[in-house]
């Protein structure tokens, strides 16, 4: 086993342009106030031949001081097996980043510039970013926090979560949830397929917002002080209005249409859906309202970000199996089965990795299980109801599930799972 700890420094100026490319390793990029750049690599690896490689065999770092451009490329050699790797890059706050990774995550913080990021089988996180951001991900989550920029996001097979960001936003997503909390955007266009859209508006004078979805809900949270002109169109699914005011209903080309104007109407909102409900509310929707694993998934995403890239595939299989087991749990013995499943996951991770980081990982997994259990208990208590007669209660519960499905509170897949679990509980 070979251990690498290297720090490489370059005298770079503000406005640095960075090009990064890698396979099977991610990178964390952070802006700082100095005009210097610093690359830190910590890695443990083995080689089948027993050879210890020179740094230049697998890591390329070139800097052109005339163009103020830096090129970084990490290449995993065929003979190498990476056990652990951590790559950090510190650059002047005002820098441009172009990064492309395969089987590796990207993280950016405290930067101002133009950013083009692309990942395959890896997550992207960005915080305290200003400027322009274009991100394309496949098979990975995408998370932004406290960013002020023009964002163009394209994601496939992964969730998107944005919190307390502003600027202009465009999202094209497929096979994943889109959640935008405390949004301060002046305009947004969000297109999703096979996943829900949740968007919390903040106060603003004017703007234009478009939401399009297929096979998933649209939840829009519009505060009373928002001056909006809202049009909702739906083909298959309800349009639920839970805000004060009068609205017009119509039908055109097999579409149900609702039009609602509040105050000056300078904020234009257009929402259209196919095979899913549209819900307009003035109150934020608590996670416990629907049985979804948002807390659970967020914890798992954080865990995955701290796992060496070489081991992520194996751990992901174990976590996915644990998640599948939770989804199949019956109401009656939910707590005991979650505890049993948690213990199995603990043993599996300890056996697989056996490192000091296992304890930190297990704590995060436990937190995820507890959060999921808490949401499950709230959900089952609130929405499933209790009764003295089991048969009568079961029938009422089935009716309640169907009503929730019709009202768009749950989707068809969730309803099917709830009905199946209810049937298993009553021996049917």
Mean pLDDT lowest among 200-204, 248-252, 254-258, 379-383: 379-383
Strand ranges (DSSP E) for 121-266? 124-138, 142-145, 148-156, 160-163, 166-174, 178-193, 197-201, 207-214, 218-221, 228-234, 239-242, 247-252, 255-261
Report the 10 Å Cβ neighbour count for 353.
Answer: 17
Look up residue 287 and give its two tokens: 């996670």
Reply yes or no on whether the pLDDT at 178 is more than 80. Answer: yes
pLDDT, one tens digit per residue, over 280-315 is: 998 776 443 433 444 445 455 555 554 554 455 556
Distance of CA 323 to the CA centre of its chain: 16
Task: Using a pLDDT cut of 90, give the percent of the chain over it.
Answer: 56
pTM for the model stands at 0.70
Average pLDDT over all residues of the chain = 81
120 sits in which H/E element:
strand 106-120
Reply yes or no on whether the pLDDT at 103 is more than 50. Answer: yes
Look up residue 129 and give its two tokens: 């970013």
Report the 10 Å Cβ neighbour count for 388.
Answer: 6
d(C-alpha 265, C-alpha 421), whole Å = 45
What sign for the dihedral angle of Cα 22, 26, 31, 36? negative
Q: Indicate the pLDDT class of residue 337, thresholds 50, 70 and 90.
A: low
d(C-alpha 199, C-alpha 220), whole Å = 5
> In the beta sheet, which residues pair with residue 6?
41
Contact 118, 136 (CB under 8 A): yes
Domain boundaries, the chain: 293-425
Angle of helix 309-327 relative to helix 357-379, nearest 10 degrees? 20
Q: Indicate the pLDDT class of residue 320, thresholds 50, 70 and 90.
A: low
- Exposed (0-12), middle (13-18) or buried (19+): which is 45, by Cβ within 10 Å? buried
**CA-based diameter of the chain, in Å?**
81
CA angle (76, 6, 41) in 5-degree steps:
50
């Amino acid at each position: 086993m070979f251990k690498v700890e290297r720090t490489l420094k370059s005298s770079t100026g503000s406005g640095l342009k960075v090009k990064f490319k890698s396979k099977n390793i991610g990178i964390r990029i952070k802006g700082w106030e100095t005009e210097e750049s610093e690359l830190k690599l910590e890695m443990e690896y083995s080689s089948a031949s027993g050879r210890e490689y020179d740094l230049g065999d697998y890591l390329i770092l070139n800097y052109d001081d005339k163009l103020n451009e830096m090129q970084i490329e990490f290449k995993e050699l065929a003979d190498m097996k990476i056990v652990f790797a951590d790559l950090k890059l510190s650059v002047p706050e005002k820098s441009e980043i172009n990064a492309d990774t395969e089987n590796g995550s990207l993280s950016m913080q405290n930067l101002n510039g133009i950013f083009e990021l692309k990942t395959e089988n890896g997550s992207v996180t960005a915080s305290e970013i200003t400027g322009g951001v274009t991100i394309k991900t496949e098979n990975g989550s995408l998370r932004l926090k406290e960013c002020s920029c023009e964002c163009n996001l394209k994601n496939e097979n992964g969730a998107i979560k944005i919190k307390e960001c502003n600027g202009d936003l465009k999202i094209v997503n497929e096979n994943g949830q889109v959640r935008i909390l405390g949004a301060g955007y002046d305009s947004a266009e969000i297109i999703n397929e096979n996943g829900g859209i949740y968007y919390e508006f903040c106060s603003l004078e004017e703007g234009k917002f478009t939401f399009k979805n297929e096979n998933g809900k649209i939840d829009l949270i519009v505060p009373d002080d928002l001056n909006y002109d809202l049009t909702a169109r739906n083909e298959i699914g309800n349009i639920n209005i839970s805000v004060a005011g009068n609205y017009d209903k119509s039908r055109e080309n097999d579409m149900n249409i609702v039009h609602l104007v509040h105050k000056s109407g300078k904020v234009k909102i257009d929402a259209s859906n196919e095979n899913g409900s549209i819900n307009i509310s003035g109150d934020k929707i608590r996670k416990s309202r629907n049985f979804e694993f948002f807390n659970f998934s967020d914890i798992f995403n954080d865990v995955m970000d701290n796992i060496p890239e070489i081991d992520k595939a194996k751990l992901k299989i174990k976590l996915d199996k644990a998640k599948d087991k939770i989804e199949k749990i019956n109401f009656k013995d939910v707590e005991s089965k979650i505890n049993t499943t948690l213990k199995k996951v603990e043993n599996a991770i300890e056996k697989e990795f056996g490192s000091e980081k296992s304890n930190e990982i297990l704590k995060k997994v436990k937190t995820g299980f507890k959060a999921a259990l808490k949401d499950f208990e709230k959900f089952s208590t609130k929405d499933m109801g209790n009764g003295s007669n089991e048969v009568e209660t079961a029938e009422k519960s089935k009716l309640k599930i169907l009503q929730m499905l019709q009202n768009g509170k749950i989707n068809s897949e969730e309803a099917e799972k709830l009905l199946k679990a209810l049937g298993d509980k009553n021996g049917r």
